[in-house]
Structure 1
């Protein structure tokens, strides 16, 4: 039986391939003896046209960072349901020449007018419509500034070159696919509130239809202005004026100073050792890296390969539960909040948490009940890149919910995000993804809202992996399962296809995809005291969550074998298997 089959087995014993445990000194020595360059370049993204845009930059002499700009911008055009110039993202970079890892934070920021009081109804209840739709839901965008930053500091090619594929896609159009049609149908009532949005999505007089060519001339003009003028092309001048006017016309309050004052932040990534791997991942304002480090260090106390499926899932879930509890109370924008990061990511703290886990019984999450966690599969996207020099990029970008706020300021083509809902707008009230927060994640002028995006690098003496995924609060646990999959010896495509389960402290139940937890295993977990929310057609019951989630994109460099491979999530609804081949590409 292969490692992949053993990993997927949910009703038989799991026999995982254990990684060799090395001291940090031995691990560093082993790294020095491995090849310094991969045998080519590889990109995995959620859309074939975006992957091709990145590969085009590599063919034209650019590096992974140029490819990242091109891929990100192309995704902003062909996946408006997921991300765009009106949103933000995180870019985890590895510079092969210096060996340095850096985290580029292009998260959106809060407008000064967006105080918690603005998100309450007259009776004091939370105004969810204002938090999720229209101008008040939108933070100041960060993605255009990220393009400028990457091009100026890390790339080899000018923005006029790296943005050219996206400009062409916006101007000439691309075929509409089923996910866009479904997404528009689900958000149509909101999007058609706004004249600027109607002008783009109802340009033909009717909603999007699968197979038609979708052109966005205003977005092409905005991208061209950004390419020609850099930062000022978006955050000042004509485009900025149109953004401000569009927000104001719908009752929002942005200022020219807030737009012009936006800046990306470079931050030190979170780094942790796990079973011979060096894991490099996202720091705050992402919650993902600290939570991932916490979960991995808790789990390092057990040899998961020796456990039956039920007890293995039990321990993984208990690590998830504790990390998400800490996320709720401690994490926020590090420019505004003192975060006990050293404590939360320390082995000693993990050992203390591990000691609270009963090997046979679930720990009740207690306190508040929660709401079912919606998906963010359509609202976020990820891509992974390794170039021939060994530079690496893991990038996750988003507009938050499906088509973000639904608002396009007229004449810009820019669909604004609805990231304000990721703040704790009303303390203790769950957001659209069922997670809640308190003062650490309360909005303040210029503050960045907490995120779950978790772009990640893994490095061992033999293998280097780049991975990440959309999925709302489930991003963190999907990346965790991906890390465990690579540690078990799986290849890139097997990791992308892994069945998924999730726990986020509140609501106190395990969620899982169809087939991820076999009926017998579910029964054993229930006997331990776990609440389960399995798809409705499965035996163990529960209220029924969506049957699949996520869209993991990963690249693997096998140093020992001298190979480079990619994994694109088979759940990807754009073309399914065809896009797995087209949406991941390798070139020598």
Structure 2
């Protein structure tokens, strides 16, 4: 049944392949023919799923881990993984598949993804052996300044004043222009289909909607989006349709990203933003027009015979590199995990605290030359050895022990990840964000859910919330203060890992995560479990986690962790708080030595892999 759906999907798109952007009439003709044929073959509404009843529900632990022969796609939502797989089978490139998957995620997982935000992408081309980092992070408007938000946390965090200039569409276009194969308009059809015909609300989306409606009663647009005809609100499993957003996507499919930044949608976008709740926005049409995605060299570092390719600053990639390089010197083995677990976890915690302290010095290298030098230091073996020598096996220490860089970095939220390994050995890892779910404007004309990424800039110099109990003399000027055109820091850290082979390097793993500041620590723990403790991918991702932000001085331990471990960590001086198991998720694809491909989606937040 599913193969018929794929074949029909391919047939109905032939007329679209000759255009960069099809006309609106062309796209509607394709969709009409496609729907008619699907109904005839009884595959309508099952097009994008291998198991329709599992498409939007929390899947079993078994289905979150799968094995494939040729290619694999992982994402936070199973139906979107299937869309990526279908694009690959249609002859699309990895970038085509990633864009189609992410656009669909922006429809279904609308609490944490969408074209109102931004992303980081790393891409390895197996044929050319070249690696790329695309930075489509949101930027501060041209009128932004520290004084503008001084003493006004609400303006920084909530509503229209918290919106930074979105970069997602411009980033997709830059990636497609360089590496795309199918027409741009073709990549939008699955997302348009889902938005028009409906999808089931996920548990995570429902949970966030309840929280945000309670915290922000003034966000009437959210209530309008979630209210059913009978006056009640959507809940897990209910069908969601986003008709206005489908029309917006159709316009962008037809006219390209210029429709958003300098075209037919721009005026509507500005009205949507200005009609939103909260303090007035400072975004202008010129801010949208001037936005550019950046194509840069990724950060590379080596562990044993592996080469890691990750995103550069202001992402979390350099912090992940720093953390793993600190831990490398312990030369962990399975014995450390089996026989010295408490000490091993303590060492990991201390390394995380040092890494997250260093993270507070990072910022946007496009506006501060110091950042590139700082990243070089963070991944240097000599510096990481020096940091490791400060780790005390007996006890933990107060925040100032880990460095004088006492500038708190605000937590980020609302992230979604996609990883793909292709038949030719190329790989792509991309993580996107709109930041805090439903804390910003929902466009009444366009259906776009906007970011609140202004909140990811640091506060003014020397100011910290009382909860952090920071000693003022250690405070330094933050490199993450808001400035016009600046990109805020993020924990997103998409990563690709290469292994050495007799024929040169080839992809071993594709990795990324969602969950704000927990992304870095969770990704590192999954990698330590797989690479050094020799757990398989399924076990590595399922293992219970810890997390420490350095500030505040609290160790988060996942619920149901062994009491003996918790007691041992408390005796070493850690201030422990139990966290639920949904704080973060990690997605991994690995190509084993026998060329079998294994893929794992973290059941903490649902989703399942797909491939062939």
Q: TM-score range by the shorter chain?
A: 0.7 to 0.9
CA–CA distance in structure 1, aligned partners of residues 272 and 104 of structure 2? 24
- Are 1:567 and 2:600 matched, yes or no? yes
After superposition, where does 1:529-568 map in structure 2 within 5 Å?
A: 529-533=573-577, 535=578, 545-558=579-592, 560-568=593-601
Contact 1:94 1:102 in 2 (8 A): yes
After superposition, where does 1:148-547 map in structure 2 within 5 Å?
A: 148-189=173-214, 193-194=218-219, 196-202=221-227, 204=229, 205-250=231-276, 251-286=280-315, 288-305=316-333, 306-307=335-336, 308-328=340-360, 330-337=361-368, 338-339=370-371, 340-366=374-400, 376=413, 379-405=414-440, 407-429=441-463, 438-461=477-500, 464-487=508-531, 488-516=533-561, 518-533=562-577, 535=578, 545-547=579-581
Q: Which moved more, 1:493-502 or 1:214-223?
A: 493-502
Query: Corresponding residue for 1:13?
Result: none
CA–CA distance in structure 1, aligned partners of residues 542 and 210 of structure 2? 28
Change (3 A) 1:459 1:372: closer
Alpha-carbon offset, residue 409 of structure 1:
2.6
Instruction: Note the alpha carbon deviations across 1:221-262, whole angstroms, 9 max, x for none.
Output: 111111111121111123111111222234212111110111
Contact 2:410 2:456 in 1 (8 A): no
Contact 2:326 2:385 in 1 (8 A): yes
Match of 1:511, SS? strand
Contact 1:552 1:568 in 2 (8 A): yes
Tell me which of 130, 134, 156 is aligned to 1:131.
156
Match of 2:132, SS? strand
Contact 2:364 2:480 in 1 (8 A): yes
Change (3 A) 1:446 1:416: same
CA–CA distance in structure 2, aligned partners of residues 568 and 457 of structure 1? 16
Match of 1:184, SS? helix
Query: Corresponding residue for 1:18?
Result: none
TM-score, with structure 2 as normaliser: 0.80
CA–CA distance in structure 1, aligned partners of residues 106 and 456 of structure 2? 20
CA–CA distance in structure 2, aligned partners of residues 67 and 404 of structure 1? 29
CA–CA distance in structure 2, aligned partners of residues 169 and 475 of structure 1? 28
Match of 2:264, SS? helix
TM-score, with structure 1 as normaliser: 0.83
Change (3 A) 1:531 1:315: same
Alpha-carbon offset, residue 211 of structure 1:
2.9
Contact 1:248 1:254 in 2 (8 A): no
CA–CA distance in structure 1, aligned partners of residues 206 and 574 of structure 2? 37
Q: Which runs of 5 or more structure 2 residues have no equivalent in the other structure?
A: 1-67, 502-506
Match of 1:144, SS? helix
CA–CA distance in structure 2, aligned partners of residues 431 and 41 of structure 1? 47
- Are 1:52 and 2:91 matched, yes or no? no
Q: Give the paired residue count.
A: 520
CA–CA distance in structure 2, aligned partners of residues 422 and 356 of structure 1? 30
Alpha-carbon offset, residue 182 of structure 1:
2.0
Alpha-carbon offset, residue 432 of structure 1:
14
How large is the RMSD of aligned CA atoms in angstroms? 2.6
CA–CA distance in structure 1, aligned partners of residues 157 and 498 of structure 2? 38
Contact 2:407 2:478 in 1 (8 A): no
Alpha-carbon offset, residue 196 of structure 1:
4.7
CA–CA distance in structure 2, aligned partners of residues 322 and 380 of structure 1? 24
Alpha-carbon offset, residue 192 of structure 1:
5.7
CA–CA distance in structure 2, aligned partners of residues 451 and 430 of structure 1? 19
Tell me which of 101, 113, 116 is aligned to 2:146.
116
Alpha-carbon offset, residue 197 of structure 1:
4.3
Change (3 A) 1:430 1:494: farther
Alpha-carbon offset, residue 553 of structure 1:
1.3
Alpha-carbon offset, residue 402 of structure 1:
1.6
Query: Corresponding residue for 1:23?
Result: none
Query: Corresponding residue for 2:45?
Result: none
Contact 1:424 1:437 in 2 (8 A): no
Tell me which of 135, 140, 149 is aligned to 1:105.
135
Instruction: Note the alpha carbon deviations across 1:144-201, whole angstroms, 9 max, x for none.
Output: 1122112211111111111110011111111223322222111115666356545433
Q: Which runs of 5 or more structure 1 residues have no equivalent in the other structure?
A: 1-37, 121-125, 536-544
Match of 1:459, SS? strand
Instruction: Note the alpha carbon deviations across 1:326-384, whole angstroms, 9 max, x for none.
Output: 111x20011011212211211111111122222323232138999999784xx211121
Query: Corresponding residue for 1:4?
Result: none
Contact 2:245 2:446 in 1 (8 A): yes
Match of 1:476, SS? helix
CA–CA distance in structure 2, aligned partners of residues 55 and 482 of structure 1? 25
Match of 2:585, SS? coil
Match of 1:115, SS? coil
CA–CA distance in structure 1, aligned partners of residues 145 and 408 of structure 2? 24
CA–CA distance in structure 2, aligned partners of residues 98 and 372 of structure 1? 38
Instruction: Note the alpha carbon deviations across 1:30-64, whole angstroms, 9 max, x for none.
Output: xxxxxxxx941100111122112111211211121
Change (3 A) 1:173 1:132: same
Match of 2:133, SS? strand
Contact 2:163 2:281 in 1 (8 A): no
Query: Corresponding residue for 2:19?
Result: none
